[in-house]
Amino acid sequence: MTLSKGARFAIIYQDAVTKRMETLYAARGACLYALSKAPKVSLEEEIDVERMMEELKEEKMPDTGQGNKNLPAWKSRRVEVDGIGYEANFEDEGGKINLNAVAEDHRDLLQNYLLQAGATDSEADTIVDSVLDWVDSDDFTRANGAESNYYRNLPEPYLAKNGPFDSLEELALIRGVTPSLYDKIRRDITVYGLNPEINVNFASKEVLSSVPGVSIKLAESIISLREKKRGIKSLDELKDLFMHAGIMGGKFEIIRSYLTVEYSQFMTIRVTCLDKKAGRCEYRVVIDNESEEILASYID
């Protein structure tokens, strides 16, 4: 039996980091420790951003210069395992573009994001159509998409899933997605949950500026505001920013339909090693925040 494109890609990816496994196992331990310190978020309760911020700031995280500058400092904490320091960042999966929630009427969000990542118009059209074909239950092929009749004719054939994505790695099987593009976009993509809206408190600049009508400058302003406020509690808090950009009324409401401040059920803990002698490494785990089950882990 031959290996699929996705399987071969996963093996190559794993092999590239084998030499750093000792440090990475410690990083995994740091992830689990950070999870035990994370506040529980109930989907049935209104999220208290201030309470969450205070709990995560219990151990103040110094500016290491290595963190993601698009994330507020109150989402980070410093942990130590076997004398090695790690920076732990908590990220809501709702701040990412959900492949299982891509729909014809909101396809421009993923399409804009792919264009920003360097895809051409034709390549972006192909990928978005192919994502939609992958998850739908029929065998009808969209204009630029791919169903089983396309994948069957590949050198190493497989079938379209005709169902939701269960793992991020499935994206590597989609027509038009190259390993280099996959590596570039995977941190801003999720398959967990079904919410199409983007959580403005966790979205990257690239995701925010992929929302139709949101420029890169406006996305940067949203990130600055959430850092200043240590979390945006209501989308109404964005009205002044948009007004200064000449966006109000119906135009604001259209953009608002792409956004949310509600947390999803799923969270990523991203741990980065801060010890230069141990080498640069990053370990990420995706958690079901209700069951605390680890759904996936990634080594960078």
Which residues are paired to 153 by β-bridges?
Answer: none
Tens digit of pLDDT for each residue in 54-65? 443 444 333 323
pLDDT score at 194: 87
| pLDDT at residue 192 is higher than 90 | yes
Distance, CA of 89 to CA of 78 (rounded, Å): 9
DSSP 193: S
3-class secondary structure, 134: helix
Least confident stretch, 40-44, 59-63, 242-246, 253-257: 59-63
Q: Cα dihedral angle (197, 202, 207, 210), rounded to 10 degrees?
A: 50
Max CA pair span of the chain: 59
Res. 204: pLDDT tops 60 = yes
pLDDT at 276: 66
What pLDDT score was predicted for residue 31?
Answer: 54
Q: What is the pLDDT of residues 116-173, one digit of tens each?
A: 999 999 999 999 999 999 999 999 999 999 999 999 998 888 889 999 999 888 999 9
**Over residues 266-285, mean pLDDT:** 77
Closest CA to 109 of 118, 119, 123, 99: 99
Containing H/E element for 8? helix 5-15
Q: Please name every residue paired with 269 in a beta bridge, in sequence order, or none if there are none.
A: 90, 285
Q: Which of 73-77, 108-112, 150-154 has the lowest mean pLDDT?
A: 73-77
Give the pLDDT of residue 48: 36
Q: How many angstroms separate the CA atoms of 168 and 93, rounded? A: 12
Bridge partners, residue 294, by sequence: 287
% residues pLDDT > 70 (the chain): 71
Q: How much is the pLDDT for 127? A: 98
Tokens coding 169: 């790695």
Over 70: is that where the pLDDT of 70 sits?
A: no
**pLDDT band, residue 281 (cuts 50/70/90):** confident
Average pLDDT over residues 94-123: 95
- Is the predicted pLDDT of residue 193 greater than 80, yes or no? yes
Give the chain's mean pLDDT. 78
Average pLDDT over residues 18-33: 45
C-alpha to C-alpha distance for 225 and 57, rounded to whole angstroms = 19
> Is the distance from CB of 282 to CB of 271 less than 8 angstroms?
yes
**Burial class of residue 18, CB neighbours in 10 A (0-12, 13-18, 19+):** exposed
SS3 content of the chain, % helix, strand, coil (to 5): 45, 15, 40
What confidence category does residue 280 fall into, taking pLDDT thresholds of 50, 70 and 90? low
pLDDT above 90: residue 21: no
Residue 246 pLDDT level (bands cut at 50, 70, 90) = very high
Instruction: Find out whether 165 and 134 touch, Cβ atoms under 8 Å.
Output: yes
- What does the DSSP assignment read for 80-94? EETTEEEEEEEEEGG
Q: How far apart are CA 287 and CA 296, in angstroms?
A: 8
